[in-house]
């Protein structure tokens, strides 16, 4: 088996809108820190898988399909691309066709120059711990499932590549932040790379639909990014230093399935809003009313189907889905060996739990029927357990 990895800058070349909040309407060209795409590639006798994590809110699935098509033309082997987003709300607008072209060109160029190394003695370890020092449930009176999961690919117990999965919205900054930033995922990777220069790190956003820094941040600027990011750096470092269980990693596997999406617009009774919600929660509920009205007029834009995929790394598994899934969907996979990654294989709206009846911003943008959610859960369980 062969392994390769590389990081490239994906800053927009020209003034571009940010993507993440309704009021990010003006193009900007100011960067607090660079935006990156991190590419980890696996190759065997028949297949190449490109696992790409980017500092962005989320990509249309057409960009992933375009990358896969372009790269397939360059080899006789079967090519699969999984394009993921860290979900920073301060990356470039991916619906901007000019930026789409820039991004695809940069990624293809970087992949053309990837240097694969053949290994015969790789091993992999997996660790999973509860971790709420960056973020917790952002909904009052609701408990979220917040995890830190590490896939560490090693040779002779020396870490070569570490894939970090954590589920918390990178929204420490406020919506009117006048610069691009990779937020806490980028900061964590920057600091870990300094501390462990011989290990390559990448970050994947988990099911963070109901998780954010709303109740953990002290301010909405880069000061809190550093403070909260350091909590994660410390925990990842702790997990790296303790003794781990390694299993052979001599091959990988890929599979995907498509889940049909059906939709309905249930009326939401605003008279049932609890009295103890925060000012921010009340503000986002009003934004949700606006978003639901927009969705009702754009039914043709609602997903007809979504792609769910899995990447087997030895006896460990990463499962990928496009939705802003609530953290309860993590229960669909076996967290003793698997992780659920959201904001991948495209970017789709919030999908709350079947029994989540509270009134939140996320509830307004979730139009997926119970039947479709049940089918999705079956696929996630098939791939992740």
What pLDDT digit, counting tens, does each position of 210-242 carry? Answer: 999 999 999 999 999 999 999 999 999 999 999
Cβ neighbours of residue 57 under 8 Å, at least 6 residues apart? 19, 20, 85, 87, 88, 89, 91, 94, 343, 347
Looking at residue 233, what DSSP letter applies?
H
Structural domain contains residue 98? no
Q: Rounded mean pLDDT of 315-323?
A: 98
Q: Rounded mean pLDDT of 7-36?
A: 95
How far apart CA 23 and CA 255 sit, in angstroms, is 38
Strands 323-325 and 348-351 turn out to be: parallel
The string of pLDDT tens digits covering residues 152-205 is 999 999 999 999 999 999 999 999 999 999 999 999 999 999 999 999 999 999
pLDDT at 269: 72
Looking at residue 242, what DSSP letter applies?
S
pLDDT at 275: 77
The string of pLDDT tens digits covering residues 247-295 is 999 999 999 999 999 998 877 777 777 778 888 888 888 888 888 888 8
Structural domain contains residue 214? no
The string of pLDDT tens digits covering residues 39-49 is 999 999 999 99
Virtual torsion, Cα 343, 347, 350, 353, nearest 10 deg: -60
Structural domain contains residue 76? no
Structural domain contains residue 226? no
Q: Is the confidence at residue 318, as pLDDT, over 90?
A: yes
Structural domain contains residue 149? no
Number of domains observed in the structure of the chain = 1
How far apart CA 218 and CA 229 sit, in angstroms, is 13
Question: 296: pLDDT confidence band, cut at 50, 70 and 90?
Answer: confident
Exposure of 55 in the CB half-sphere (CA atoms within 13 A): 28
Check residue 58 and give left, alpha or beta (phi > 0: left; psi -120 to 50: alpha).
left
pLDDT at 290: 82
Structural domain contains residue 362? yes
Structural domain contains residue 373? yes
Structural domain contains residue 286? yes
307 is in which domain, residue-wise?
A: 255-384
């Amino acid at each position: 088996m062969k392994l390769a990895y590389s990081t490239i800058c994906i800053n927009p070349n020209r003034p571009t809108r940010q993507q993440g909040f309704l009021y990010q309407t003006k193009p900007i060209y100011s960067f607090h820190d660079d935006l990156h795409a991190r590419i980890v590639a696996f190759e065997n006798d028949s297949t190449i898988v490109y696992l790409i994590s980017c500092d962005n809110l989320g990509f249309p699935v057409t960009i992933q399909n375009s990358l896969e098509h372009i790269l397939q033309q360059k080899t006789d082997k079967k090519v699969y691309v999984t394009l993921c987003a860290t979900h920073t709300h301060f990356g470039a607008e991916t619906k901007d066709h000019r930026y789409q072209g820039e991004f695809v060109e940069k990624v293809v160029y970087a992949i053309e120059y990837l240097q694969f190394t053949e290994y015969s003695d790789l091993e992999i370890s997996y660790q999973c711990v509860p971790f709420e020092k960056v973020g917790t449930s952002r909904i009052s009176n609701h408990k979220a499932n917040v995890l830190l999961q590490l896939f560490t690919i090693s040779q002779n117990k020396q870490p070569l590549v570490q894939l970090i999965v954590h589920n918390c919205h990178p929204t420490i900054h406020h919506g009117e932040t006048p610069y691009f930033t990779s937020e806490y995922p980028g900061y964590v990777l920057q600091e870990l790379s300094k501390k462990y220069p011989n290990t390559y790190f990448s970050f994947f956003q988990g099911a963070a639909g109901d998780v954010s820094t709303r109740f953990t941040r002290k301010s909405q600027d880069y000061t809190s990014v550093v403070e909260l990011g350091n909590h994660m750096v410390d925990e990842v470092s702790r997990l790296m230093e303790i003794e781990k269980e390694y299993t052979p990693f001599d091959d990988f596997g890929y599979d995907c399935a498509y889940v049909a999406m059906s939709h309905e617009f249930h009326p939401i009774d605003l008279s049932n809003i609890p009295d103890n919600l925060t000012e921010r929660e009340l503000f986002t509920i009003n934004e949700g009313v606006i978003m639901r009205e927009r969705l009702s007029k754009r039914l043709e834009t609602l997903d007809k189907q979504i792609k769910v995929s899995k990447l087997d790394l030895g006896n460990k598994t990463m499962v990928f889905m496009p939705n802003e899934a609530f953290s309860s969907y993590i229960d669909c996979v076996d967290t003793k060996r698997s992780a659920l990654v959201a904001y991948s294989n495209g970017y789709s709206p919030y999908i709350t739990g079947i029994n989540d009846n509270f009134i939140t911003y996320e509830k307004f943008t979730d139009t997926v029927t119970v039947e479709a959610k049940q089918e999705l859960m079956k696929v996630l369980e098939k791939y992740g357990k």
